[in-house]
Amino acid sequence: MNLGIILRLNSREIFKYSLLVGILATFIDAVIAHGIWRGTDPYWTYWVTNVFLFSTVFSIGATFWGVGLRQGLVLSFFSAWAFAFYYDYFAPLGLPQESWWLESRDLWTAGFVTCYLVVLAGYLISLWMWLRIKARKESSELSTLATCEHVEILRFTVIASLAVLIVDGLITQGLLFRHFPGVTFYFQRFLLSYIVLYFWTVYIGFEKQGIFSSAFLLSLIWTGYSMYLGPVDLPLSPPRYLNYIPLWLKVFPGSFLSIFTGIFILSRLIPQKKPNSVVLISAVFVSIIALGNPLFASEGLFASAAASGSGSSYFGADPYNLKIVQPMIGSIKLQVNDIGNRESQVKNNDKVNIVSNFMAGNSAYRVVITRAMPRHPLGTYPVWMGVAFNPKIHGMTGIGTSKLPEIIPEIAVWGWAEVWKDGKLISKMVPAQVTVIAKGATKGITLEVGAEEKDLVGDPAGYIHVRWPKVSSVNLPVIAIYSREMGGWIVLIAINLAFLWLIIDSPYRIKKKGFTRKQVKAR
């Protein structure tokens, strides 16, 4: 297909097409960008806003410039810019439950590239679906199923949905997991499969492109549903959500292979154009290898740090008055694992192990933190399920206290502490915060226990606030973070290239229907 080909749509078609782009771009953002690249859940206000934001940009663009590949490349850039501008100046993430602002890197550099690829993927998928649906409406080459009675379509959809579930039970659950995910799991997947396959049967078809695209998108829907909404083990056991490794190294490739296999076998029974098995099997193999690369495999992000020697202990009526200080000597060691930030304690719980022993004010203290704090006790600000890397806190950020200057610690931990004073346990569960800054003027490890509300029972001050100015060791998950980001970019680029190829290689090319190179008027 030539890049200059333009589809001129009427007002109704512009609305439908723009809304489709907004929904699919937001879907790709949720599953790929936040599922692989970011590993966070910015909450539902973000998703709803993005649908309207992307749809608005593309409706304006389609009105003046039409729809085509060249338009998609340009309008995706403007959509990414509008996204970055909006979340930089107008709105934080996490609303209405929490509130935090994205960093510049997540908006204008690496995040900008990710957003561009996300929106472009949504646009290309929408363009391919739009061209295919329109061409099939005007073609005598409609699939046999699409011209059948409603009952025939219903029967095929039910059979296909059951078939892909059976194959998935054998491949994904039987071979990869070796675990029965529960009756609720299969019921939810049947509902998802039925709607998607019914739509595909009526509008897209199951020829070469139809099988590949349906398997790919339905497997993404399955994976995204398991990531955000659908736990396993219900109804007989407590709900359990799958994390990064099982989702992307088992669920997605297993689902893709299962759906492809089930639909491929059924499509051979339909008296229509037979699929190209060599191309499709090659696509399956490449997809599984790309997503199964162990370079991107990491169940959580591990980090550790330690400090020892002399430091400062702050005391007085105000826990954050750094002018009232006394000497302190001791040590602190921490090991943390950031499992994820998907806005639910059921979905993920960060792991922390922090031990500190020190002498301050003629007393010996021991602080142990083994339970992460998934939410702030009063809901005042987000704590990212207990562990965060490079967050902006204090100052005017709205996170922490405004009495201290803004800092960006490499590691920030919120947890529940057990505190001993002079060998006596004085608190079994008190809020605590630890920050690690490895370099710069404010470098050091800071431990705060009960500082915000002064609720450390058993200590006259009601809190602990100590700091070691020298960090003896720090290990950050830099490689793991960049590997995940690389994996997200590879998948996004692969999606864009795959659907660009589907558009170019489509048996329903625009020029085949007598449309001109420069302009195509929708009927």
Residue 506 has a pLDDT of 64
At 6 the pLDDT is: 66
Torsion sign across C-alpha atoms 224, 229, 234, 240: positive
Who has greater pLDDT, 39 or 96?
96
Burial 228-246 (b: 16+ CB within 10 A, else e): bebbbbbeeeeeebbbbeb
Q: How far is CA 226 from CA 108, 190, 195, in A?
A: 30, 13, 17
Would you place residue 264 in the very low, low, confident or very high pLDDT band (cuts 50, 70, 90)? confident
The pLDDT of residue 206: 81
pLDDT at residue 218 tops 90: yes
Q: Which residue type, as a one-letter code, is found at position 141?
A: E
Note the pLDDT of residue 132: 85
- Higher local confidence (pLDDT), 43 or 412: 412
Instruction: Give tens-digit pLDDT for 457-473.
Output: 989 999 999 999 999 99
Q: Given a cut of 70, is residue 521 above it in pLDDT? A: no
What is the overall mean pLDDT for the chain? 86
Please report the pLDDT score of residue 148 as a whole number: 61
- The contacts of residue 11 (CB under 8 Å, 6+ apart) are none
Instruction: State the pLDDT confidence band at 249, using cuts at 50, 70 and 90.
Output: confident
Domain boundaries in the chain?
Answer: 1-141+478-523, 150-292, 301-475
Q: In b/e form, how buried is each residue of 45-60, taking b as 16+ CB within 10 angstroms?
A: ebbebbbebbbebbbe
Q: What is the pLDDT of residue 71?
A: 93
In this prediction, residue 441 has a pLDDT band, given cuts at 50, 70 and 90, of confident
Q: How far is CA 414 from CA 20, 294, 370, 432, in A?
A: 41, 30, 10, 6
Q: How far apart are CA 214 and CA 163, in angstroms?
A: 14
The reported pLDDT for the residue numbered 292 is 45
Amino acid letter for position 375: R
Q: Is the pLDDT of residue 293 over 50?
A: no
- What span, in angstroms and rounded, lies between the C-alpha atoms of 368 and 292? 38
Asked if residues 332 and 447 have their Cβ atoms less than 8 Å apart, the reply is yes
CA distances to 262, 324, 340 from 215, in Å: 9, 64, 27
Which of 365, 372, 359 has the alpha carbon at shortest distance from 431? 372
What pLDDT, in 10s, does the model give residues 132-165? 888 777 665 455 555 566 788 888 899 999 999 9
474 DSSP β-pair partners:
305
User: At residue 127, does pLDDT exceed 60?
Assistant: yes
pLDDT digits (tens, 9 = 90+) for 10-40: 999 999 999 999 999 999 999 999 888 777 7
Three-state DSSP at 97 gives coil
Q: Residue 35 has what pLDDT?
A: 84
With bands split at pLDDT 50, 70 and 90, how would you rate the model's confidence at 279?
Answer: very low
Rounded Cα gap, residues 398 and 385, in angstroms: 17
Kindly state the average pLDDT of the residues 225-243. Answer: 91
pLDDT for 41 beyond 90 = no
Q: What is the β-pairing status of strands 411-421 and 363-372?
A: antiparallel
364-414: pLDDT as tens digits: 999 999 999 999 998 889 999 999 999 999 999 999 999 999 999 999 999
**Highest mean pLDDT of the ranges 133-142, 293-302, 492-501:** 492-501
Q: How does residue 324 score in pLDDT terms, banded at 50, 70 and 90?
A: very high
Q: What is the pLDDT averaged over residues 478-502?
A: 89
- Long-range pairs of 506-511 with CB within 8 A, sequence gap ≥ 24: 506/128, 506/131, 506/132, 506/135, 506/209, 507/141, 507/207, 507/208, 507/209, 507/273, 508/131, 508/132, 508/135, 508/136, 508/139, 508/141, 509/1, 510/1, 510/5, 510/131, 510/135, 511/1
The reported pLDDT for the residue numbered 294 is 43
pTM of the shown model: 0.86
Q: Lowest mean pLDDT: which of 261-275, 289-303, 456-470, 499-513?
A: 289-303
Q: CB of 365 within 8 A of CB of 418? A: no
Query: Is residue 513 scored above 70 in pLDDT?
Result: no
Ranges 226-230, 353-357, 491-495, 516-520, most confident: 353-357
Could you please state the CATH topology (level 3) that the domain comprising 301-475 is classified under: Porin (2.40.160)
Beta bridge partners of 363: 360
